[in-house]
Each structure stands twice: as C-alpha cells, then as structure tokens.
Structure 1
Amino acid sequence: MTIPSASLDALYSDARAEGGKLVVYAGGDAPSQAGIYATAFSRRFPDIDLRVTVDLSKYHDARIDQQHLRGDVRVDVVHLQTLHDFPHWKAQGWLAPFKAPGFEHLPGELRDPDGHYYPVLAYGFSNVVDTAQIPEDQAPREATDYLKPELKDRLVFTYPHDDDAVLFQFEQIIRMHGWPWLEGLLRQNPQWVRGTQAPLEIVASGKKAATFTSFYYLKPEAGSSVRFLLPRNDFFQSWYQLGAILKAAPHPAAARLYVSFLLSEEFQRQVPQWPARLDVESTAGWRHPLEYANTSPVGFSGFMGDRGRVERLKGIFEQWIGPVVGDTPTGVPVTGLDR
C-alpha cells in the first residue's frame, strides 16, 4: 500500500521523533557530487544526521543485494544509474511505495505507477569545453569534430566499458558514424579515465581542452571558462537517476522526508542540470531532456535492462581501447563497506 504524502514540516517532525538519522546510497563517481542534494537537505533540515555514500551504481546495487540476502539492511534511500535494478527490487518486495508531492509530474515512462521508484535527478553528458583554450564558436560539438587534427593529445574521455551511460552514448554515436569514427578518435591519443567527474576536472584545470563524456552546469559558474554545449545533430547522453525507499529502511520517516524534499519544487529549481519534474522549468533556454530529438532517456532505460547487449558492448570496447586502468574514482572500498 502506498504511504500517503505529507508536508515537509510534518515529515521533518516525524523524522526527528524517529531519531533524526538517515543513510543514503547515491550513484556517482566523486564524493563532491553529494553536495548537489546533501547540502541543500542539511541546510533545510539541520537536525537530521544525513550520511551519504557516493559510489559507482554498479557497486551500490550489489551492496543492496547483499544486505537483503543477509537480512541486514542498513540503508534507507537509494538513487542510482543502474535503472534495471529497480524493477527487480520491486519484484523481490524490497521497495516501499511512496508517492511524494510532485510524483505525478515525473516522466511517466520512467516512474513506477505504484510509486516503488521514480526519477529524482536528471543528468546529461555532452561537450564540456574550456573556452580559454578553444573559443566557444570553434568548440567541438558534433562527434566528428573530435577528429580534427588540432585536437590531437588534447582530449579526455571516460572509459565506455566502465560506465553504462557512457557506453550507451558511444553506441549511439557509432550507430550514426560507424566504427571507423572510433578508430579516428583513438588516433587522437585521448586520455582515458574512470568516472565522469574526472574529465570535467581535467578540462577545468587546463590540462585538456575538451570531452563529451562529462557534465557541467547548464548555467556556468561565475568566472569559469568551462561550457556545457549540446551537439546540434549528433546524439548526447541524458538520463534520469531513479530513487527508491527500501522497505526494510532503518529510518523510514527520514527516508520519506528526503524523497519528498528531492521532488519538491524548492529543490528541483536549484539542480545544476535538468529538473526531474516536468512542471518545473529548466534553466532559461534549455528544454527538458525528453524534448530533444537527439537524446533518449527512455532508450537508455531499455538499454540498461538488456544486460546481454551491455556486456557484449563492454567486451568490444575493451578490445578497442584496452582494459580499464585505475582505482575506483570515489575511493570507496568495493567490498566490506558495511561490515
């Protein structure tokens, strides 16, 4: 049975009475990414002891499985990139249905009609360029622009076989331009890194000039020369991070408060990229991802559910690029986190 929603103030009171603690597993590849939501939540609800662990979703989902298998669930809320996990967890009876205010304004193709899971954040990976090195009107925007001779040794990308969102992005570009495009990209001698935060940081530092496997604010930070630019014709990756409350959550009242805050207009208006709610306007001049013809959040959801397709592609890209090299970008131990 779906738990009815309540006002944020009433939920805050319930969460404090419960003990004022909250544990969240969040998909991401840098601890600093938690600031997008954790800072705003803690400022709004200072009496809640919020503990967020940011890690690659492909590690978090295994932790959640393991906790359920051993009957020792220690997390309240999850929001991850591994979209295929949520229907599975619902079928297992591991998710608590909850329709927070604003639920009806979330993309219908991506939310569970019973309220077991729902989009909470929207992200896009596209051209991130240091305009101090490349003027914006000369910046690479289409995939073929990255093959220009003047960009050799000046590019950085996330390993596609280490991140399913980037993998889908590469698959779609290659469907448009063929595998010779990838051969040309490899001849540019790009730097390959783990995580999608790393390319942004490398470009922002001036060490490389551009990437298309990272994200940045739709409205640039003051004083920054970095710009997030969409292609005019080629595919760019966008997707909605799904969230859910675990049925065995140790702190269910705090979990309902957290989800309600994430889906509130108050929070959705301050996200750095797109709001998940379709009734909240995006940054001026930007449409919601579902309104662009050259991206496919729904297609990505289907891709994530086809694990055979995903694993085959990972093997192919490893043959082209080589094995993934480097420690996990978050620094979180892959095993033993909850022991």
Structure 2
Amino acid sequence: MLSRRTLTKLALATPLAALTIRYAAAQVGTSSGTAPVAPETRSLDELHKVALAEGGNLIVYGGGDLPNGAAGMEAAFMKRFHGMKIRILIDRSKYQGVRIDNQLSLDRLQCDAVHILAGHYYDRWKAGNHLLPYKPAGWEEVYPDFRDPDATSVAVAVYAFSTLINTNQLSRADAPRDAIDFLNPKLRGKIALTYPQDDDSILYQFDRIVTQHGWEFVDKLMSQDVLWNRGSGVTRQRIEKGERSASFTTSGPLVPNPNQPTAFLLPTTDSFLSWAHPAAIFRRARNPEAAKLYLSWLLSPEIQGARRQWSVRRDMPAPEGLEPIIAYNSYPVHFRDFLRDRGRLEQFRDQLEQYIGPMQGTNPTNVVGIFPEG
C-alpha cells in the first residue's frame, strides 16, 4: 500500500500535460445541470452607467493581513469609475468566511462581493445557493480550471509565495532557493516566517516540505532562531525593513520595485505555492451591478495585462522574463484540493504547532466583529 508521502510526491510530479487535460475537461458543460449563463457583453463604461444608476456603492470583503491592505485598489477603482464609492474590507480569509456565514444566517449580509483565499467557503456558499452565477467580461479567456463551471466564482488574480530576500543583506548568489537551503547555519537569526497554523497557505507550504523532507526539517528549522509573525504581509515588511534577510512564506513583486531592497526568487528544484484567488457575488448583494462592474474590471486587460503579476487569463502575457503560471511546477489546483480536506489539514496543523508552539500576537488587520462596517 502506498504511503501518504509517496502519494503526495506522485501528485506533485503531475506533468503539465495532465494539468492541461484537467483544464480542457473543465470546459465541458456545467456540474449542476443548471441553465448556462451567458458571458458579460457590456463594456466597462456601460456597466459603470448601470452601477451608478443602482446607487454607485460597493462593499467587498477581501482576504489579506495588513490594515486597509486594498487602499490602492479602492483608489484605482474610484479613479477609473467616477462617482463610484467602494470599500474593500481586508481581513484574514478564515475570519472573513466565518463573518459572512454569520451574516447570511442572520439575513444581514454586509458585502456584495468577496475575494478570499479560503476556497472551501465558496463550495459551501455555492451548495447553499448563496452565490450569483455571473461570467464577467473576459470569462472565456480565464484558464478553465480557475473558474467554476456553473459561474458562481472566478479567479481574479494569481498569488505566489517563494523566497524573498533583502538584497542589502543577502546577494542573489547566496540566497536560499529551496526549502533545504533555509537550514544553512549561515542563515541562523536571519529568517522571518509566517505562523503556518494561522494561515492555510503557509500550512500548505509546510505540508509539501514535510512530505518531501520529513519532520526532521521542521525540527532543524526550529534551531535557526526564526522570527515568527502573524501574517505574510507582516513577514514581508520585516524583510523590507531589514529586520531579517530571507523568508519563504510571503509574496514579493515579480517585477522588482526599485524603491524596495528586495528580490522575489523562484526555487531551483522545489515546487512553490501559487493559487488562483477566487471572487464571487452574492445573490443577496445590495449592489449586484456594481459587483459585476468590479469583477469585470478585475478581469479586464487593464488589470490583467499590466504584467506586474501572473494573469488568470490565457491571452495576457506573463511579466517580462517569466512564463505563464501553468508552465511552472506549482499547480495552483493542488492548493485548492488541500483546502477542501479540512480533517487532514487540521490534523497537520495541530502536529506542526507541537514543534513551533502557540502563536504570539494579535490579528494584524485589527478588524473585529460580525459587522465591522457598521
């Protein structure tokens, strides 16, 4: 009988051809037998006019771990669509999902749309008929496995976690690329990481590492005097500020920012974490037309073609010097499957905490309550 470690290694070794077959299979029909939804044909300007007539307001719940982490996105949306007002409330995905569940049960849904990491919540909301089927403009160009066949959700961004270094403290030549490199004694006291028991994306990274290297890796990592943080954004800030030199549990700019002394580096041989970030509109949305405008804008060439990150669209080029996300040994769909197996996930999380210890610190977003927007 194959062990769990062997099975997972086989899954990670899935060739790109097999993944492409999954993409193709996702294009055939819908899973629920419901009437097909036609893709959006209105232009962004036409959607803008309808959204203004509706009232011009929009509330979105987004996933993240920095206070007001979507302020730039809010400003860009309101600059592009004059007269619109938008609030993108950022909080940890695990808190946003529970918050929305509570609001739905109380019939007092606050947000119109959502984009959080916790994909298993979308499964539940879809099963409960809470999501509004909608195919934003650009839907047909989205990788088929990045969208729900019944149009209840669609990925609007691709995020990735890999090595991030402070280039003032560590050269690219000396930078750790693969997980095992972080055990180098020269990096003792120079590593910042995010608590994996606090974030399913980080937990997935550790699951893959333990599968490949065993629990011995975690045991040795604990001797590296790691600076642990609540939130990948907090970890990134510590690297940017030079408080620590390297991390593998945060994101970074695919295109280097000349104003930041950091570099985001892909592994030499290891796979790395990436995921297709899903978005959805609720049937009970008070501003459904504004939500449709927002999702269509997020999928538009204006956003997806900016080449600052990998696109969810097949027709948009990758950032300069990189290939499309599906060309790498990352396989975003594997992370989605990991999120759905909550029993296994929770068991691994509890095991990992025995090595790392309980989390220290408060939720960095400072968002509290079931109805944080009043």
Q: TM-score, normalised by structure 2?
A: 0.87
Tell me how far apart the structure 2 counterparts of residues 335 and 71 of structure 1 sit (CA, whole Å): 12
Q: Could you tell me how far 1:276 is from its partner in structure 2?
A: 1.6
Say whether residues 1:144 and 2:180 are aligned partners.
Answer: yes
One-letter amino acid of the counterpart of residue 143, structure 1: A
Specify the code of the residue in structure 1 equivalent to 2:192.
V
- What amino acid does structure 1 have at the position aligned with 2:319? T
For structure 2, the 5+ residue unaligned runs are 1-34
Over residues 1-27 of structure 1, what are the superposed CA-to-partner deviations in whole Å (9 max), with x where a residue is unaligned? Answer: 636511101110011111110000001
> Which letter maps to 2:366?
G
Instruction: Describe the SS at the equivalent of 1:123.
Output: strand
**Whole-Å separation in 2 of the counterparts to 1:297 and 1:4:** 24
For residues 280 and 31 of structure 1, what CA distance do their matches in structure 2 show? Answer: 31
Question: CA separation in 2, counterparts of 1:3 and 1:324?
Answer: 46
Deviations 1:4-57 (A, max 9, x none): 511101110011111110000001111353145323212211311101100001
Deviates more, 1:316-325 or 1:268-277: 268-277
Shift of 1:144: 1.2
Please tell me whether the aligned partners of residues 36 and 272 of structure 1 are also in contact (alpha carbons under 8 angstroms). Answer: no
- Does the CA contact (< 8 Å) of 1:3 and 1:97 recur in 2? no
Match among 129, 136, 152 for residue 116 of structure 1: 152
SS at match of 1:95: coil
Query: CA separation in 2, counterparts of 1:239 and 1:334?
Result: 28
What's the counterpart of residue 82 of structure 1? 118
The one-letter amino acid of 1:236's match is F
- Provide the residue aligned with 2:360 in structure 1: 325
Q: 2:341 aligns with which of 275, 284, 306?
A: 306
- Per the alignment, residue 328 of structure 2 pairs with 292
- Work out the CA distance in 1 between the residues paired with 2:373 and 2:51: 23
2:192 to 147, 156, 161: 156
Alpha-carbon distance, 1:59 to partner: 0.6
Q: Is the 8 A contact 1:216 1:273 kept in 2?
A: no
In structure 2, distance between residues paired with 1:281 and 1:199: 29
Query: Aligned residue pairs: how many?
Result: 338
1:246 is aligned to 282
What whole-Å deviation, never above 9, does each CA across 1:114-162 have from its counterpart, x for those lacking one? Answer: 2110101110000000111111111111111111111101111000111
Q: For 2:120 and 2:341, locate their aligned partners in 1 and report how far apart those are by CA, in whole Å.
A: 8
Offset at residue 224 of structure 1 (A): 2.5
Partner of 2:107: 71
Following the alignment from structure 1 to structure 2, what is the Cα–Cα distance between the partners of residues 44 and 338? Answer: 24
One-letter code aligned to 2:274:
S
Distance apart, 1:334 and its partner CA: 4.9
Change (3 A) 1:32 1:72: closer
The separation in 2 between residues aligned to 1:234 and 1:57, in whole angstroms, is 26
How many angstroms apart in 2 are the aligned matches of 1:32 and 1:219? 23
Cα offset, 1:336, TM superposition: 4.8
Q: How high is the TM-score relative to the length of structure 1?
A: 0.96
Task: Look up the equivalent residue of 2:314 and give its one-letter code.
Answer: L
What is the aligned partner in structure 2 of residue 276 from structure 1? 312
* 4+ residue segments displaced more than 4 Å: none
1:316 aligns with 2:351: yes
**Aligned-partner Cα distance in 1 for 2:369–2:75:** 25
Matched-pair contact (CA < 8 Å) for 2:100–2:109: yes
What is the identity, as a one-letter code, of the residue corresponding to 2:75? T
Aligned-partner SS, 2:127: helix
1:235 CA displacement: 2.3
In structure 1, what is the equivalent of residue 73 of structure 2? Answer: 37
CA–CA distance in 2 between the matches of 1:59 and 1:16?
31
Residue 227, structure 1, aligned to residue 228, structure 2: no
Moved more, 44-53 or 25-34: 25-34
- Unpaired stretches in structure 1, ≥5 consecutive residues: none
Deviation per CA, 1:296-320, whole angstroms, max 9, x where unpaired? Answer: 2111000000000111111011111
SS in 1 for 2:319: coil
- Paired residues of 1:117 and 1:244 also in contact (CA < 8 A): yes
Shift of 1:111: 1.1
- Cα RMSD over matched residues? 1.5
- The question of whether the paired residues in 2 share the 8 Å contact of 1:199 and 1:214 is answered with yes
Q: Closer, same or farther in 2 for the Cα pair 1:43/1:271, shift >3 Å?
A: farther
User: For residues 35 and 282 of structure 1, do their structure 2 counterparts lie closer, same or farther at Cα, with a shift above 3 Å needed?
Assistant: farther
Aligned partner of 2:44 in structure 1 is 8
Superposed, 1:189-208 pairs within 5 Å as 189-208=225-244
Matched-pair contact (CA < 8 Å) for 1:37–1:262: no
State yes or no: 1:186 paired with 2:222: yes
| Displacement of 1:176 | 1.4
Counterpart check, 1:103 vs 2:139: yes
CA distance in 2, matches of 1:245, 1:3: 16
Partner of 1:54: 90
Deviation at 1:223, TM superposition (A): 3.6
Relative distance call for 1:334 and 1:154 in structure 2 (3 A) is farther
- Is the Cα contact below 8 Å between 1:169 and 1:235 reproduced in 2? no
Could you tell which deviates more after superposition, 295-304 or 35-44? Answer: 35-44
Equivalent pair of 2:238/2:244 in contact (CA under 8 Å)? yes
